Structure 1
Amino acid sequence: MFVPDVHEFMLVSFVFLAAGGVKGVLGMGLPTVAMGLLGLMMPVAEGAALLVLPALATNLWQMSRGGHLRALLKRLWPMMAGVCFGVWLGRGWMATPGGHAMLWLGLSLVAYALAGLAGLRLPPPRPQREAGLSGLIGTLTGLLTAATGVFVLPAVPWLQALGLKKDEMAQALGLSFTVSTLALAVALAGSRHLNADSAAQSLLMLLPAMLGMWLGQNLRDELSQNGFRACFMGGLLVLGGWLVWRGW
Protein backbone atom coordinates (compact mmCIF):
# COMPACT_ATOMS: atom_id res chain seq x y z
CA MET A 1 0.00 0.00 0.00
CA PHE A 2 1.28 3.46 -0.89
CA VAL A 3 2.15 5.55 2.20
CA PRO A 4 3.67 8.99 1.54
CA ASP A 5 6.30 10.63 3.78
CA VAL A 6 4.34 13.05 5.98
CA HIS A 7 6.81 15.93 5.78
CA GLU A 8 7.14 15.67 2.01
CA PHE A 9 3.39 15.26 1.65
CA MET A 10 2.74 18.50 3.55
CA LEU A 11 5.30 20.44 1.50
CA VAL A 12 4.02 19.14 -1.84
CA SER A 13 0.40 19.71 -0.78
CA PHE A 14 1.23 23.35 -0.03
CA VAL A 15 2.84 23.67 -3.47
CA PHE A 16 -0.34 22.46 -5.17
CA LEU A 17 -2.53 24.62 -2.94
CA ALA A 18 -0.52 27.69 -3.97
CA ALA A 19 -0.41 26.64 -7.64
CA GLY A 20 -4.16 26.02 -7.67
CA GLY A 21 -4.71 29.44 -6.11
CA VAL A 22 -2.72 31.12 -8.87
CA LYS A 23 -4.73 29.26 -11.52
CA GLY A 24 -7.95 30.29 -9.81
CA VAL A 25 -7.00 33.97 -9.99
CA LEU A 26 -5.32 34.08 -13.41
CA GLY A 27 -6.94 31.14 -15.23
CA MET A 28 -3.47 29.63 -15.74
CA GLY A 29 -0.20 29.04 -13.91
CA LEU A 30 -0.73 25.75 -12.09
CA PRO A 31 2.04 23.83 -13.92
CA THR A 32 4.34 26.85 -13.96
CA VAL A 33 4.19 27.44 -10.21
CA ALA A 34 4.04 23.75 -9.29
CA MET A 35 7.01 22.74 -11.46
CA GLY A 36 9.00 25.77 -10.38
CA LEU A 37 8.63 24.91 -6.69
CA LEU A 38 8.79 21.14 -7.08
CA GLY A 39 12.00 21.61 -9.06
CA LEU A 40 13.60 22.84 -5.83
CA MET A 41 12.71 19.59 -4.05
CA MET A 42 12.90 16.73 -6.56
CA PRO A 43 13.94 15.77 -10.11
CA VAL A 44 11.84 17.43 -12.81
CA ALA A 45 10.44 14.12 -14.11
CA GLU A 46 9.15 13.17 -10.64
CA GLY A 47 7.51 16.57 -10.23
CA ALA A 48 5.88 16.29 -13.65
CA ALA A 49 4.40 12.92 -12.72
CA LEU A 50 2.82 14.49 -9.62
CA LEU A 51 1.40 17.25 -11.79
CA VAL A 52 -0.54 15.03 -14.20
CA LEU A 53 -3.86 14.45 -12.40
CA PRO A 54 -4.25 17.91 -10.77
CA ALA A 55 -3.44 19.60 -14.08
CA LEU A 56 -5.75 17.31 -16.03
CA ALA A 57 -8.69 17.78 -13.64
CA THR A 58 -8.43 21.58 -13.45
CA ASN A 59 -7.89 21.97 -17.19
CA LEU A 60 -10.76 19.67 -18.14
CA TRP A 61 -13.01 21.78 -15.93
CA GLN A 62 -11.72 24.98 -17.56
CA MET A 63 -12.04 23.52 -21.06
CA SER A 64 -15.65 22.46 -20.48
CA ARG A 65 -16.85 25.94 -19.49
CA GLY A 66 -18.25 27.93 -22.41
CA GLY A 67 -19.81 27.13 -25.74
CA HIS A 68 -16.81 27.56 -28.03
CA LEU A 69 -15.09 24.18 -27.82
CA ARG A 70 -16.13 22.90 -31.25
CA ALA A 71 -15.06 26.11 -33.00
CA LEU A 72 -11.78 26.17 -31.08
CA LEU A 73 -11.03 22.56 -31.97
CA LYS A 74 -11.63 23.37 -35.66
CA ARG A 75 -9.34 26.39 -35.49
CA LEU A 76 -6.62 25.09 -33.18
CA TRP A 77 -6.25 21.44 -34.24
CA PRO A 78 -2.88 22.10 -35.96
CA MET A 79 -1.54 23.47 -32.68
CA MET A 80 -2.88 20.50 -30.71
CA ALA A 81 -1.34 18.07 -33.20
CA GLY A 82 1.94 19.97 -32.97
CA VAL A 83 1.93 19.70 -29.17
CA CYS A 84 1.59 15.92 -29.34
CA PHE A 85 4.31 15.70 -32.01
CA GLY A 86 6.66 17.93 -30.00
CA VAL A 87 6.20 15.92 -26.81
CA TRP A 88 6.89 12.73 -28.79
CA LEU A 89 10.05 14.25 -30.30
CA GLY A 90 11.30 15.36 -26.89
CA ARG A 91 10.39 12.22 -24.97
CA GLY A 92 13.16 11.28 -22.56
CA TRP A 93 14.62 14.80 -22.35
CA MET A 94 13.23 15.32 -18.87
CA ALA A 95 15.13 12.33 -17.51
CA THR A 96 18.43 13.28 -19.15
CA PRO A 97 21.16 13.48 -16.48
CA GLY A 98 23.25 16.57 -15.94
CA GLY A 99 20.65 19.11 -14.85
CA HIS A 100 19.55 20.11 -18.36
CA ALA A 101 15.84 19.84 -17.56
CA MET A 102 16.32 22.15 -14.56
CA LEU A 103 18.15 24.65 -16.76
CA TRP A 104 15.42 24.61 -19.42
CA LEU A 105 12.74 24.98 -16.78
CA GLY A 106 14.52 28.01 -15.33
CA LEU A 107 14.99 29.59 -18.75
CA SER A 108 11.32 29.00 -19.59
CA LEU A 109 10.22 30.68 -16.36
CA VAL A 110 12.56 33.65 -16.90
CA ALA A 111 11.38 34.13 -20.50
CA TYR A 112 7.72 33.88 -19.51
CA ALA A 113 8.16 36.31 -16.60
CA LEU A 114 10.08 38.89 -18.66
CA ALA A 115 7.49 38.75 -21.43
CA GLY A 116 4.68 39.19 -18.90
CA LEU A 117 6.37 42.10 -17.11
CA ALA A 118 7.13 43.84 -20.40
CA GLY A 119 3.58 43.34 -21.67
CA LEU A 120 4.91 41.78 -24.87
CA ARG A 121 2.53 40.11 -27.28
CA LEU A 122 3.02 38.41 -30.60
CA PRO A 123 1.53 40.23 -33.60
CA PRO A 124 -1.67 38.69 -34.99
CA PRO A 125 -0.94 36.20 -37.79
CA ARG A 126 -2.22 36.51 -41.34
CA PRO A 127 -5.21 34.19 -41.85
CA GLN A 128 -3.51 32.23 -44.64
CA ARG A 129 -0.49 31.54 -42.43
CA GLU A 130 -2.28 30.82 -39.18
CA ALA A 131 -2.59 27.03 -39.56
CA GLY A 132 1.09 26.50 -40.38
CA LEU A 133 2.29 28.82 -37.62
CA SER A 134 -0.14 27.20 -35.20
CA GLY A 135 1.40 23.79 -35.89
CA LEU A 136 4.91 25.19 -35.38
CA ILE A 137 3.94 26.89 -32.11
CA GLY A 138 2.36 23.64 -30.92
CA THR A 139 5.51 21.66 -31.74
CA LEU A 140 7.73 24.12 -29.85
CA THR A 141 5.32 24.00 -26.90
CA GLY A 142 5.45 20.20 -26.96
CA LEU A 143 9.26 20.20 -26.96
CA LEU A 144 9.39 22.51 -23.94
CA THR A 145 6.69 20.43 -22.25
CA ALA A 146 8.75 17.28 -22.78
CA ALA A 147 11.84 18.94 -21.29
CA THR A 148 10.29 20.85 -18.38
CA GLY A 149 6.69 19.79 -17.69
CA VAL A 150 5.62 23.43 -18.23
CA PHE A 151 3.38 24.07 -21.22
CA VAL A 152 2.79 27.81 -21.24
CA LEU A 153 5.44 28.76 -23.80
CA PRO A 154 5.00 29.66 -26.57
CA ALA A 155 1.36 28.52 -26.49
CA VAL A 156 -0.03 31.30 -24.28
CA PRO A 157 1.52 34.24 -26.18
CA TRP A 158 0.30 32.67 -29.43
CA LEU A 159 -3.26 32.30 -28.17
CA GLN A 160 -3.17 35.90 -26.98
CA ALA A 161 -2.11 36.97 -30.48
CA LEU A 162 -5.19 35.34 -32.04
CA GLY A 163 -7.48 38.02 -30.61
CA LEU A 164 -9.80 35.63 -28.82
CA LYS A 165 -12.52 37.02 -26.57
CA LYS A 166 -12.19 36.55 -22.81
CA ASP A 167 -14.36 33.43 -22.57
CA GLU A 168 -12.86 31.98 -25.75
CA MET A 169 -9.35 32.59 -24.42
CA ALA A 170 -10.09 30.81 -21.15
CA GLN A 171 -11.53 27.81 -22.97
CA ALA A 172 -8.65 27.78 -25.48
CA LEU A 173 -6.16 27.73 -22.62
CA GLY A 174 -8.03 24.83 -21.04
CA LEU A 175 -7.97 22.94 -24.35
CA SER A 176 -4.26 23.55 -24.93
CA PHE A 177 -3.29 22.63 -21.39
CA THR A 178 -5.46 19.49 -21.44
CA VAL A 179 -3.84 18.19 -24.64
CA SER A 180 -0.38 19.05 -23.30
CA THR A 181 -1.10 17.24 -20.02
CA LEU A 182 -2.35 14.12 -21.80
CA ALA A 183 0.64 14.06 -24.15
CA LEU A 184 3.00 14.52 -21.20
CA ALA A 185 1.26 11.72 -19.29
CA VAL A 186 1.79 9.32 -22.22
CA ALA A 187 5.48 10.29 -22.41
CA LEU A 188 5.97 9.87 -18.65
CA ALA A 189 4.21 6.51 -18.70
CA GLY A 190 6.51 5.41 -21.51
CA SER A 191 9.58 6.36 -19.46
CA ARG A 192 8.00 4.73 -16.36
CA HIS A 193 8.08 7.94 -14.33
CA LEU A 194 4.28 7.79 -14.25
CA ASN A 195 3.48 4.49 -12.55
CA ALA A 196 1.16 3.20 -9.85
CA ASP A 197 3.00 4.95 -7.00
CA SER A 198 3.37 8.31 -8.74
CA ALA A 199 -0.26 8.13 -9.91
CA ALA A 200 -1.35 7.57 -6.29
CA GLN A 201 0.69 10.57 -5.18
CA SER A 202 -0.73 12.66 -8.02
CA LEU A 203 -4.24 11.65 -6.99
CA LEU A 204 -3.55 12.88 -3.45
CA MET A 205 -2.63 16.29 -4.86
CA LEU A 206 -6.05 16.74 -6.47
CA LEU A 207 -7.65 18.02 -3.25
CA PRO A 208 -5.16 20.80 -2.44
CA ALA A 209 -5.04 21.86 -6.11
CA MET A 210 -8.84 22.07 -6.39
CA LEU A 211 -9.08 23.82 -2.99
CA GLY A 212 -6.48 26.33 -4.07
CA MET A 213 -8.30 26.93 -7.36
CA TRP A 214 -11.56 27.53 -5.50
CA LEU A 215 -9.88 29.98 -3.12
CA GLY A 216 -8.21 31.75 -6.02
CA GLN A 217 -11.50 32.17 -7.83
CA ASN A 218 -13.00 33.73 -4.71
CA LEU A 219 -10.02 36.07 -4.35
CA ARG A 220 -10.14 37.13 -8.00
CA ASP A 221 -12.72 39.88 -7.41
CA GLU A 222 -10.98 41.09 -4.26
CA LEU A 223 -7.48 41.61 -5.65
CA SER A 224 -6.04 43.93 -8.28
CA GLN A 225 -5.45 41.68 -11.28
CA ASN A 226 -2.62 43.83 -12.62
CA GLY A 227 -0.91 44.09 -9.24
CA PHE A 228 -1.17 40.38 -8.63
CA ARG A 229 0.12 39.58 -12.11
CA ALA A 230 3.13 41.87 -11.58
CA CYS A 231 3.97 40.16 -8.26
CA PHE A 232 3.43 36.74 -9.83
CA MET A 233 5.69 37.47 -12.80
CA GLY A 234 8.33 38.98 -10.54
CA GLY A 235 8.32 35.91 -8.34
CA LEU A 236 8.63 33.64 -11.37
CA LEU A 237 11.59 35.70 -12.57
CA VAL A 238 13.43 35.20 -9.28
CA LEU A 239 12.51 31.52 -9.13
CA GLY A 240 13.51 30.95 -12.75
CA GLY A 241 16.86 32.67 -12.19
CA TRP A 242 17.53 30.44 -9.20
CA LEU A 243 16.74 27.30 -11.23
CA VAL A 244 18.99 28.45 -14.07
CA TRP A 245 21.82 28.95 -11.58
CA ARG A 246 21.25 25.47 -10.15
CA GLY A 247 21.01 23.77 -13.53
CA TRP A 248 23.90 25.58 -15.22
Structure 2
Amino acid sequence: MQDPTLLAAAAATFFLAGTVKGVIGLGLPTITLGLMTLLLDLPSAMALLIVPSLATNLWQAAVGGHMREILRKTWPFLLTATVTIWIGAQALSRIDLSYLSALLGLLLITYAATGLAGFRFSMSARTAFRSGPLFGITNGILTGMTGSFMVPGVLYLQAMGMQRDMLVQAMGMLFMLSTAALALALGHGAHINPELGLASALGLIPAVLGMVLGRKIRGYLSEARFRQVFFAGVLTLGLYIVASTGFS
Protein backbone atom coordinates (compact mmCIF):
# COMPACT_ATOMS: atom_id res chain seq x y z
CA MET A 1 0.00 0.00 0.00
CA GLN A 2 3.02 2.30 -0.26
CA ASP A 3 2.38 2.79 -3.98
CA PRO A 4 1.15 6.43 -4.32
CA THR A 5 -1.20 5.46 -7.13
CA LEU A 6 -2.76 2.73 -5.02
CA LEU A 7 -3.10 5.06 -2.02
CA ALA A 8 -4.77 7.68 -4.22
CA ALA A 9 -7.15 5.05 -5.61
CA ALA A 10 -8.02 3.92 -2.09
CA ALA A 11 -8.68 7.50 -0.94
CA ALA A 12 -10.89 8.18 -3.97
CA THR A 13 -12.76 4.91 -3.37
CA PHE A 14 -13.45 5.76 0.27
CA PHE A 15 -14.61 9.25 -0.65
CA LEU A 16 -17.02 7.88 -3.26
CA ALA A 17 -18.24 5.14 -0.91
CA GLY A 18 -18.71 7.63 1.92
CA THR A 19 -20.68 9.93 -0.35
CA VAL A 20 -23.05 7.13 -1.35
CA LYS A 21 -23.47 6.14 2.30
CA GLY A 22 -24.24 9.76 3.18
CA VAL A 23 -27.05 9.85 0.64
CA ILE A 24 -28.74 6.46 1.14
CA GLY A 25 -27.34 5.13 4.43
CA LEU A 26 -25.42 2.17 2.98
CA GLY A 27 -22.94 1.22 0.29
CA LEU A 28 -19.54 1.89 1.88
CA PRO A 29 -18.37 -1.75 2.18
CA THR A 30 -20.05 -2.69 -1.11
CA ILE A 31 -18.31 -0.01 -3.15
CA THR A 32 -15.00 -0.34 -1.31
CA LEU A 33 -14.82 -4.09 -1.86
CA GLY A 34 -16.10 -3.89 -5.42
CA LEU A 35 -13.49 -1.34 -6.49
CA MET A 36 -10.52 -2.37 -4.34
CA THR A 37 -10.72 -6.05 -5.37
CA LEU A 38 -9.89 -4.79 -8.85
CA LEU A 39 -6.50 -3.69 -7.43
CA LEU A 40 -5.89 -5.92 -4.38
CA ASP A 41 -6.53 -9.49 -3.30
CA LEU A 42 -9.83 -10.04 -1.47
CA PRO A 43 -8.46 -10.36 2.11
CA SER A 44 -6.45 -7.12 1.71
CA ALA A 45 -9.50 -5.29 0.37
CA MET A 46 -11.53 -6.62 3.32
CA ALA A 47 -8.86 -5.45 5.79
CA LEU A 48 -8.74 -2.03 4.15
CA LEU A 49 -12.42 -1.31 4.82
CA ILE A 50 -12.31 -2.17 8.56
CA VAL A 51 -11.69 1.25 10.16
CA PRO A 52 -13.90 3.39 7.88
CA SER A 53 -16.72 0.84 7.98
CA LEU A 54 -16.55 0.39 11.76
CA ALA A 55 -16.42 4.12 12.50
CA THR A 56 -19.13 5.25 10.07
CA ASN A 57 -21.48 2.42 11.05
CA LEU A 58 -20.92 3.06 14.75
CA TRP A 59 -22.21 6.56 14.01
CA GLN A 60 -25.17 5.21 12.04
CA ALA A 61 -26.02 2.58 14.67
CA ALA A 62 -25.99 5.09 17.52
CA VAL A 63 -28.28 7.64 15.88
CA GLY A 64 -32.03 7.18 15.58
CA GLY A 65 -33.31 6.35 19.05
CA HIS A 66 -34.59 2.88 18.12
CA MET A 67 -31.74 0.68 19.38
CA ARG A 68 -33.69 -1.02 22.16
CA GLU A 69 -36.62 -1.87 19.88
CA ILE A 70 -34.32 -3.10 17.11
CA LEU A 71 -32.48 -5.38 19.53
CA ARG A 72 -35.77 -6.74 20.84
CA LYS A 73 -36.90 -7.63 17.32
CA THR A 74 -33.66 -8.77 15.75
CA TRP A 75 -31.24 -10.03 18.42
CA PRO A 76 -31.29 -13.67 17.19
CA PHE A 77 -30.39 -12.46 13.70
CA LEU A 78 -27.72 -9.99 14.84
CA LEU A 79 -26.14 -12.51 17.22
CA THR A 80 -25.85 -15.33 14.69
CA ALA A 81 -24.79 -12.94 11.89
CA THR A 82 -21.90 -11.82 14.10
CA VAL A 83 -20.62 -15.03 15.68
CA THR A 84 -20.62 -17.08 12.45
CA ILE A 85 -18.35 -14.69 10.54
CA TRP A 86 -15.27 -16.54 11.77
CA ILE A 87 -16.60 -19.73 10.11
CA GLY A 88 -16.75 -18.06 6.70
CA ALA A 89 -13.38 -16.39 7.24
CA GLN A 90 -11.69 -19.80 7.42
CA ALA A 91 -12.28 -20.03 3.69
CA LEU A 92 -9.82 -17.16 3.06
CA SER A 93 -6.89 -19.49 3.74
CA ARG A 94 -8.47 -22.72 2.45
CA ILE A 95 -10.21 -21.82 -0.83
CA ASP A 96 -8.75 -20.27 -3.97
CA LEU A 97 -9.30 -16.51 -3.61
CA SER A 98 -10.48 -16.23 -7.21
CA TYR A 99 -13.51 -18.36 -6.29
CA LEU A 100 -14.27 -16.15 -3.30
CA SER A 101 -13.90 -13.04 -5.46
CA ALA A 102 -16.34 -14.56 -7.93
CA LEU A 103 -18.72 -15.25 -5.03
CA LEU A 104 -18.41 -11.58 -4.01
CA GLY A 105 -19.29 -10.61 -7.58
CA LEU A 106 -22.34 -12.87 -7.53
CA LEU A 107 -23.51 -11.38 -4.23
CA LEU A 108 -23.14 -7.87 -5.66
CA ILE A 109 -25.10 -8.89 -8.76
CA THR A 110 -27.86 -10.42 -6.62
CA TYR A 111 -28.11 -7.37 -4.39
CA ALA A 112 -28.11 -4.93 -7.31
CA ALA A 113 -30.63 -6.95 -9.31
CA THR A 114 -33.10 -7.08 -6.43
CA GLY A 115 -32.67 -3.33 -5.93
CA LEU A 116 -33.19 -2.47 -9.58
CA ALA A 117 -36.21 -4.77 -9.80
CA GLY A 118 -37.70 -3.20 -6.70
CA PHE A 119 -37.98 -6.67 -5.19
CA ARG A 120 -39.34 -6.75 -1.64
CA PHE A 121 -40.70 -9.55 0.47
CA SER A 122 -42.31 -9.20 3.84
CA MET A 123 -42.58 -11.29 6.98
CA SER A 124 -44.70 -11.07 10.08
CA ALA A 125 -42.91 -10.15 13.29
CA ARG A 126 -43.18 -13.74 14.56
CA THR A 127 -41.85 -15.25 11.32
CA ALA A 128 -38.99 -12.74 11.19
CA PHE A 129 -37.99 -13.48 14.78
CA ARG A 130 -38.07 -17.25 14.28
CA SER A 131 -36.20 -17.15 10.97
CA GLY A 132 -33.63 -14.67 12.26
CA PRO A 133 -30.97 -17.31 13.11
CA LEU A 134 -31.19 -18.87 9.63
CA PHE A 135 -30.71 -15.52 7.91
CA GLY A 136 -28.03 -14.59 10.43
CA ILE A 137 -25.96 -17.74 9.93
CA THR A 138 -26.16 -17.37 6.16
CA ASN A 139 -25.21 -13.70 6.29
CA GLY A 140 -22.37 -14.30 8.74
CA ILE A 141 -20.75 -17.08 6.73
CA LEU A 142 -21.00 -15.10 3.48
CA THR A 143 -19.58 -12.02 5.21
CA GLY A 144 -16.60 -14.01 6.46
CA MET A 145 -15.98 -15.39 2.97
CA THR A 146 -16.41 -12.17 0.99
CA GLY A 147 -16.61 -9.14 3.30
CA SER A 148 -20.07 -8.28 1.95
CA PHE A 149 -22.76 -7.65 4.58
CA MET A 150 -25.66 -7.16 2.19
CA VAL A 151 -27.11 -10.54 1.19
CA PRO A 152 -29.31 -11.77 2.72
CA GLY A 153 -29.01 -9.47 5.76
CA VAL A 154 -30.34 -6.24 4.28
CA LEU A 155 -33.14 -8.09 2.49
CA TYR A 156 -34.13 -9.64 5.83
CA LEU A 157 -34.20 -6.29 7.63
CA GLN A 158 -36.21 -4.73 4.79
CA ALA A 159 -38.74 -7.58 4.98
CA MET A 160 -39.55 -6.65 8.57
CA GLY A 161 -41.34 -3.51 7.42
CA MET A 162 -39.43 -1.06 9.63
CA GLN A 163 -39.96 2.64 9.02
CA ARG A 164 -37.03 4.31 7.27
CA ASP A 165 -35.12 5.74 10.24
CA MET A 166 -35.33 2.48 12.17
CA LEU A 167 -34.22 0.49 9.10
CA VAL A 168 -31.19 2.73 8.57
CA GLN A 169 -30.22 2.35 12.24
CA ALA A 170 -30.75 -1.44 12.10
CA MET A 171 -28.50 -1.68 9.04
CA GLY A 172 -25.89 0.39 10.87
CA MET A 173 -26.03 -2.04 13.81
CA LEU A 174 -25.65 -5.05 11.49
CA PHE A 175 -22.74 -3.47 9.62
CA MET A 176 -21.01 -2.32 12.83
CA LEU A 177 -21.19 -5.73 14.51
CA SER A 178 -20.21 -7.51 11.29
CA THR A 179 -17.21 -5.23 10.75
CA ALA A 180 -15.97 -5.75 14.31
CA ALA A 181 -16.29 -9.54 13.98
CA LEU A 182 -14.64 -9.45 10.55
CA ALA A 183 -11.69 -7.48 11.96
CA LEU A 184 -11.17 -10.13 14.67
CA ALA A 185 -11.42 -12.95 12.14
CA LEU A 186 -8.97 -11.30 9.72
CA GLY A 187 -6.55 -10.54 12.54
CA HIS A 188 -6.68 -14.13 13.78
CA GLY A 189 -6.01 -15.36 10.26
CA ALA A 190 -3.04 -12.98 9.85
CA HIS A 191 -4.74 -11.16 6.98
CA ILE A 192 -4.17 -7.72 8.57
CA ASN A 193 -0.71 -6.19 8.81
CA PRO A 194 0.43 -2.77 10.15
CA GLU A 195 0.62 -1.31 6.66
CA LEU A 196 -2.98 -2.26 5.84
CA GLY A 197 -4.09 -1.12 9.29
CA LEU A 198 -2.56 2.32 8.75
CA ALA A 199 -4.06 2.62 5.25
CA SER A 200 -7.46 1.63 6.67
CA ALA A 201 -7.20 4.25 9.42
CA LEU A 202 -6.23 6.94 6.91
CA GLY A 203 -9.19 5.90 4.75
CA LEU A 204 -11.52 7.14 7.48
CA ILE A 205 -10.77 10.76 6.52
CA PRO A 206 -12.05 10.65 2.91
CA ALA A 207 -14.89 8.36 3.99
CA VAL A 208 -16.17 10.89 6.55
CA LEU A 209 -15.71 13.78 4.11
CA GLY A 210 -17.72 11.81 1.58
CA MET A 211 -20.49 11.17 4.11
CA VAL A 212 -20.71 14.89 4.89
CA LEU A 213 -20.99 15.65 1.18
CA GLY A 214 -23.54 12.87 0.72
CA ARG A 215 -25.77 14.26 3.45
CA LYS A 216 -25.75 17.61 1.66
CA ILE A 217 -26.50 15.97 -1.69
CA ARG A 218 -29.45 14.15 -0.10
CA GLY A 219 -31.30 17.45 0.19
CA TYR A 220 -30.97 18.26 -3.51
CA LEU A 221 -31.18 14.91 -5.26
CA SER A 222 -33.98 12.41 -5.62
CA GLU A 223 -33.02 9.46 -3.44
CA ALA A 224 -34.96 7.10 -5.70
CA ARG A 225 -32.94 8.18 -8.73
CA PHE A 226 -29.68 8.02 -6.78
CA ARG A 227 -30.49 4.48 -5.68
CA GLN A 228 -31.02 3.45 -9.31
CA VAL A 229 -27.60 4.81 -10.25
CA PHE A 230 -26.05 3.11 -7.23
CA PHE A 231 -27.58 -0.29 -8.01
CA ALA A 232 -26.61 0.00 -11.67
CA GLY A 233 -23.02 0.73 -10.63
CA VAL A 234 -22.96 -2.20 -8.21
CA LEU A 235 -24.38 -4.49 -10.89
CA THR A 236 -21.64 -3.41 -13.31
CA LEU A 237 -18.96 -4.00 -10.66
CA GLY A 238 -20.33 -7.44 -9.86
CA LEU A 239 -20.45 -8.46 -13.51
CA TYR A 240 -16.90 -7.23 -14.05
CA ILE A 241 -15.57 -9.10 -11.00
CA VAL A 242 -17.22 -12.34 -12.07
CA ALA A 243 -15.96 -11.92 -15.65
CA SER A 244 -12.40 -11.06 -14.57
CA THR A 245 -12.15 -14.02 -12.19
CA GLY A 246 -13.53 -16.28 -14.89
CA PHE A 247 -10.92 -15.18 -17.41
CA SER A 248 -7.98 -15.17 -14.95
Relative to the length of structure 1, the TM-score reads 0.95
Task: Write the distance in 1 (CA, Å) between the matches of 2:112 and 2:128.
Answer: 25
Q: Where does residue 135 of structure 2 map in the other structure?
A: 137
Partner of 1:204: 202
Distance 1:138 1:111 in 2: 18
Query: 1:102 maps to which residue?
Result: 101
2:242 matched to 1:230? no
Deviates more, 1:83-92 or 1:104-113: 83-92
Moved more, 3-12 or 186-195: 3-12
Tell me the equivalent position of 1:14.
12
**2:89 is paired with a residue of what secondary structure?**
coil
Q: How does 1:9-88 map to 2 (within 5 A)?
A: 9-88=7-86
CA contact (8 A) 2:23 2:214 kept: yes
Structure 1 residue runs of 4+, over 4 Å off? none
- 1:181 has 2:192 as partner: no
Aligned runs of 1:151-170 on 2, under 5 Å? Answer: 151-170=149-168
8 Å Cα contact 1:89-1:143 kept in structure 2: yes
Kindly tell me: are residues 65 and 130 of structure 1, through their superposed partners in 2, closer, same or farther at Cα, counting changes over 3 Å? same
Q: How large is the RMSD of aligned CA atoms in angstroms? A: 1.3
- How do 1:114-125 residues align onto structure 2 when only pairs under 5 Å count? 114-125=113-124
Q: Any idea what the Cα deviations from partners look like across 1:144-196, whole Å, max 9, x if unmatched?
A: 11111110111111111111112111110110111110111111011111232
Stretches of structure 2 that go unaligned for 5 or more consecutive residues are: none
- Would the aligned equivalents of 2:42 and 2:97 in 1 still touch at CA under 8 Å? no
- Look up the SS of the partner of 1:217 in the other structure: helix
Deviations 1:71-129 (A, max 9, x none): 2112211111111233122122234325011101100010001000100012223x333
Match of 1:172 in 2: 170
Question: SS of the counterpart of 2:47?
Answer: helix
Aligned to 1:245: 243
Hey, what's the Cα distance between the residues in 1 that align with 2:112 and 2:9? Answer: 24
User: Secondary structure, in 3 states, of the residue corresponding to 1:94?
Assistant: helix
CA distance in structure 2 between the aligned counterparts of 1:113 and 1:212, rounded to whole angstroms? 22
CA contact (8 A) 1:93 1:147 kept: yes
Opposite residue 205 of structure 1, the aligned amino acid is: G
Please give the secondary structure, in 2, of the residue aligned with 1:40.
coil
**Segment drifting more, 203-212 vs 66-75:** 66-75
Check whether the contact 2:122–2:161 (CA below 8 A) recurs between aligned residues: no
Given the two structures, how large is their TM-score scaled by the length of structure 2?
A: 0.95
Distance 1:74 1:117 in 2: 31
Identity of aligned residues (%): 39
* CA displacement 1:8-56 (0-9 Å, x = unmatched): 1111100100000110011000000110000100001000101000000
Shift of 1:5: 2.3
Give 1:197 shift.
2.3
Q: Which runs of 5+ in 1 are unaligned?
A: none
